[in-house]
Amino acid sequence: MQSFVYIEADEEEVDPTSLQIASRIKKIPVEIRGPLKGICIGKNLEGKESQFSGLLDEIFIIEVNKGNESNTEVISNVLLDIIGNHGPCILFLGFTHQGMELAPAVGWRLEIPVVTACTDFEWTTDTAYCKRSMLGGKVIASISVMMNEGAIISVQKGAWKDDVDSAAVGGEVLTTKMGWKESWAAEKSEVISISKEKFEEDEDITKAEILVSAGRGLGDPDNLPIIKELAESLGGMISCSRPVVDLGWLPASRQVGISGKTVAPVIYLALGISGQSNHVAGMNASGTIIAVNKDPSSPIFNIARYGIVDDLLEFVPELINQLKNQKSA
């Protein structure tokens, strides 16, 4: 048995989820997990291996041509080649945009079980136990997975963030650089171009110390002014969950979550946000999370430090009034 971590990295940085996964799996006894190895596929990856020294026994670095670093058909082919040639293996990867595509693509071709979006993981014998959210976080499913023939486990972003032990990092890691193989080439797809979203400095929610974040509970875009007024009163910025963007109420630059920004403000005020794992993955590193939601069973209260059960459309105006009175006093 061997364990592999797919390390997501671009020219700028390594996705922190990869580091969190390596740290967590490293803690599992070697007799169970076997050697722990990493696979990093991309462009200009020089030096990325150093972040995994002390965590991985070996790291495979595969430099690919421009475009292929984002071509999931190519990445699947590389993963299949390496994993398929190492006997039964467990592949761990993040439940990121890439991971959502790669886990089932590789799992189906290797005919091994795939468990996605794991938040918790225990592996003591041939069977591992995973936990994952369902129904917007209102239910947690426990899953047993047979590991002896190999498996793919994808990990919810941020779920294992507390597992990183910087003191454990150090020393050398065996680095194996693999040259391009024609068998990895894409046959059905081609990446034509990659664009990065551009936004004004005053829209950069990742730099805000206070975020006032609106969810579907806002009900109507006509209610946005009270959220903006509250954000201004607190000296913060406005952000939101995915449905608010999908409905066209706020631009994508304000979106927090897996498909939006990852933020870590001092205070994250979640207003009318249910707390679906896709959103939580982008904000659970915030200093203090405060949630206002009229549904007392809303999953957001499971991760918030403070909670208020109330209708945000009634509560926020009261909050604004009191803040005004405080300033004028």
Partner 1 sequence: MRVAVCSKGVPIEMAVDVVNNADGDISYTGTDFYINEFDSYALETALNLKQRYDAETIAISLGPLRSQEVLYFALAKGIDKAIRIDGQTVRPEMIVSGLLPVLKEVDPGLVLVGVQSEDWMGAEVGIYLAQALNMSRAYAVTEITELNESDIRVRKEIGAGKTAEVALKLPAVLCIQSGIHPLQYISKGRLRKARSLPINLGGSVDPKDVRDKIPGMTSYDIVGVAEPSREGQAEMITGERPEKAKKLIEIINQIA
E strands, 29-149, are 36-42, 58-63, 89-94, 114-123, 127-134, 139-146
Please give the C-alpha separations between residue 299 and each of 54, 64, 106, 109, 179, in angstroms, as whole numbers: 36, 41, 32, 35, 46
Q: Which of 9, 59, 145, 173 binds partner 1 (CB under 8 A)?
A: 145
Binding of partner 1 by 313 (CB under 8 A): no
Q: Measured between alpha carbons, how far is 42 from 177 in angstroms, rounded to an integer?
A: 12
CB of 220 to partner 1, least distance (A): 15
Binding of partner 1 by 329 (CB under 8 A): no
CB of 37 to partner 1, least distance (A): 22
147 to 206, contacts with partner 1 by CB under 8 A? 149-151, 187-197
Only segment of 28-36, 165-173, 219-227, 255-263 that touches partner 1 (CB under 8 A):
255-263
Total binding residues toward partner 1, as defined by CB under 8 A: 98
Binding of partner 1 by 305 (CB under 8 A): yes
Binding of partner 1 by 104 (CB under 8 A): yes
Q: Measured between alpha carbons, how far is 151 from 112 in angstroms, rounded to an integer?
A: 5
In angstroms, how far is CA 302 from the centroid of its own chain?
A: 18
Q: Measured between alpha carbons, how far is 228 from 263 in angstroms, rounded to an integer?
A: 18
Q: Measured between alpha carbons, how far is 184 from 195 in angstroms, rounded to an integer?
A: 24
Element (H, E) at 297: none
Only segment of 21-29, 39-47, 166-174, 307-315 that touches partner 1 (CB under 8 A):
307-315
Is-contact 265 286, C-beta < 8 A? yes
Q: Which is nearer to partner 1, 170 or 317 (CB)?
A: 317
Only segment of 58-66, 107-115, 160-168, 176-184 that touches partner 1 (CB under 8 A):
107-115
Q: Which of 105, 214, 240, 250 binds partner 1 (CB under 8 A)?
A: 105
Regarding beta strands 139-146 and 127-134, do their DSSP bridges make them parallel or antiparallel, or are they unpaired? antiparallel
Interface mask toward partner 1 for 118-137; x: CB under 8 A: -----------x--xxxxxx
